[in-house]
Structure formats: structure tokens, C-alpha cells
Amino acid sequence: MKGLKLTIAKHTINTILDTLGENDFVNIIAYTDYVHYVEPCFKGTLVQADLDNREHFKLLVEELQVKGEGKVKNAVKEAFQVLNEATVNVQGSLCNQAIMLITDGAMEDYQSVFQEFNWPEKKVRVFTYLIGRDTTFAENVKWIACNNKGYYTHINTLADVQENVMEYLHVLSRPMVISHDHDIIWTEAYMDSVLPNTKEVKGLLLMTTVAMPVFSKKKETLSHGILLGVVGTDIPLLEVIMLAPRHKLGAHGYAFLITNNGYILAHPDLRPLYEDGKKLKPKPNYNSVDLSEAEWEDTEERLRTAMVKGETGTLALDVKVAIDKGVSQDCVQ
């Protein structure tokens, strides 16, 4: 896989990464006659597909070089072992599991790997992407996907990448589309401006987006599980905070919001902007600040854990507070 093929393969990987979010877990394995992880520190495990990790992977993918002949069997076996270990150790999102195989051909005997790790349950879907104009091994690559509840895609040019990569989302969403069982998704915090009634651009605000899928309800297509798209709306987090019952918070009380990953959506101690001359700009990684970095609990992180798990009820705990210009005191009256 050289020249344009390699460029297309890298672009395919990066496009797949762009479809992932903080609720996904991922790793990338490069393979020739042996396998190696593009990031050795992540060997044998899955890591959260947050913005930092995705950007880190993209930099490593750009450095990949062609060496020898790719052995699909070894790569797929390693991928299955990683996914199986994640399941046994109850790691990751514990939802759909998939292997994305990006190759310009598959010619060796790889059936034994699927018999050992994936058949007959086929719990892991295998999606295959055949790179380049050569279709000599197309039937082999298609066989892998079709026999493992996946989807086969042939990518000829860079222009084909975006559309073809998105096909796996339709396949993974099909059971939910047919049953009309889905979640309403709230995104992590991000900075954006809003247009009030005065038609004047307001300053940067912390925002979140709430979104849900749109399904085809036509009787003739109901069994196909067609996902038409996604509908969503942007909401300033300030408006959500204002819904908090102020009379219950008390004189020194305050409300805050976190995501299901423990990242702060809104908090009095979250300062996402900095001054750059006369302009205010977002700080790097402002949307991945963990609650534990703003609330210093004296004991174990019980509050954060309960909120991440979506538990209801009340919880009281002691926290450390910086006072008098950052100098803590033993007693405050």
C-alpha cells in the first residue's frame, strides 16, 4: 500500500475517528507480518475517544510508513483479543463492538480467526474498507464483512472516503431504527456565540447541543431500518443553570452540571476564556475539565461517581475550599 493508496487509507482512518465521541472507546493497530500499536502506551487496551486522544491518533497515523506485506489474520486476531479483554474486564461503553479493517487486499487464510473469536454469536461486527482501484481481492474482503454482520466498502479515491465511511453508522443504528429505541444525546460543552432578538452578535458563551435521530417510518422501508439523519438544537448552558431552584441553594450555594463522563458543562469555577490582547479566546481543552479538578472532595469521589452513573437522590460531602487569596485556614467563622 503505497502512494495514493496510503494517503486514502490514512484519510479513511481519520474520518472514522471524526465519527467517534467521548462515549466511544478506540485503538489503532498497524500491521505487516507482525502487529504494532500506533501508540505503544495504549497497547492491548481501548482508550476514550475524546478530542485529545483522537488528535493524538491522527498525528501518529500521519507518520505511518509502508513496510512489507500486511497479514490480515494477525491484525484481526489482535483486535479480537483487545475487545474480548475489554468485555471481560467490563471496560469501555459496553455497547456495540466493531473492527474496522482497512486494507488493499486479503489473500491468506483468516477464517480460523473468526471461528475462534466471533462465530457463531458474531458479537463483534467487522467492517471492511478496500483501498484502491484494484479489485482482485474484493470478494475476500467482502466475505469478511458479510460473514461478521458488517459492511463492505470499496474506496477508489479521496472523494469517496467521507460518504463510504458513514455507511457503518447506518448499519450499527439499524436495530435501534427498527425498534425505535434510542437515546437523546447531550454534547459536551463548547464555546459559541448567539444571536439575540436585537440581531447583534453576543459574546462567546458555553453551549451544549441536544440531538436525536430521525427514522423513516414508511411501512415499505420499516424493516430496512433507514436512518434519515439527526435533528438537534443548541442551548446556552446559562439558560439551563437558571432553571435551578435558587431558593433551595441557599445564600452561598450554586448549581453545576457535568457530562456522563465527569466533564464540567457549567460550574462557577470553570473559566473557559482567556484574554488575548483585546479579544477573549477559549482555553485549550476547556471542555474536558473533570469535576474533580473543581471540587476537591476530602474523601473518595462519591459525588462525581453518583452523578456519572445517573443516580438520583441527595448526597452530602465535605470539600476543601481555598480562601483568603488561596491560603486555606483550619477554621472559618
Percent of the chain predicted with pLDDT > 70: 93
Which of 118-127, 168-177, 213-222 is the least confident region?
213-222
Q: Across residues 209-224, what is the average pLDDT?
A: 83
**DSSP structure string for 28-49:** -EEESSSEEESSGGGTTS-EE-
Q: Across residues 45-53, what is the average pLDDT?
A: 92
Helix (H) / strand (E) element for 174: namely: helix 167-179
Q: Across residues 29-35, what is the average pLDDT?
A: 91
Helix (H) / strand (E) element for 232: namely: strand 227-236
Q: How far apart are CA 30 and CA 38, in angstroms?
A: 6
286 pLDDT band, cuts 50/70/90, is confident
Question: Judging by beta carbons within 10 Å of its beta carbon (0-12, 13-18, 19+), is residue 174 exposed, middle or buried?
Answer: middle
**26: helix, strand or coil:** strand
What is the average pLDDT value for the chain, to the nearest integer? 87
197 pLDDT band, cuts 50/70/90, is low
Q: Give tens-digit pLDDT for 302-333.
A: 888 888 888 999 887 777 776 666 555 444 33
Top-ranked range on mean pLDDT: pick from 96-100, 171-175, 178-182? 96-100
Nearest to 155 by CA among 305, 255, 321, 8: 8
CA–CA distances in Å: residue 290 to residues 121, 254, 299, 319: 38, 17, 17, 15
Identify the pLDDT of residue 196.
Answer: 62
Angle, alpha carbons 133-67-18 (nearest 5°): 60
Q: Is there a contact between 169 and 16 (Cβ–Cβ < 8 Å)? A: no
Q: Is the dihedral of CA 103, 105, 108, 114 positive or negative?
A: positive
Q: Where are the domains of the chain?
A: 4-179, 186-294
- Work out the end-to-end distance of the chain between its first and last CA atoms, rounded to an integer number of angstroms: 71
Q: Give tens-digit pLDDT for 122-166.
A: 999 999 999 999 888 899 999 999 999 999 999 999 999 999 999
36 pLDDT above the threshold of 50: yes
Nearest to 154 by CA among 94, 200, 202, 102: 102
4-179 fold: Rossmann fold (3.40.50)
Amino acid letter, 254: Y
In DSSP terms, 274 is beta-bridged to: 281
User: Which residue in this structure is represented by grid cell 488561596?
Assistant: 326
Phi-psi region of 304 (alpha: psi -120 to 50; beta: other; left: phi over 0): alpha
The three grid cell numbers given for residue 321, joined into one nine-digit string = 475550599
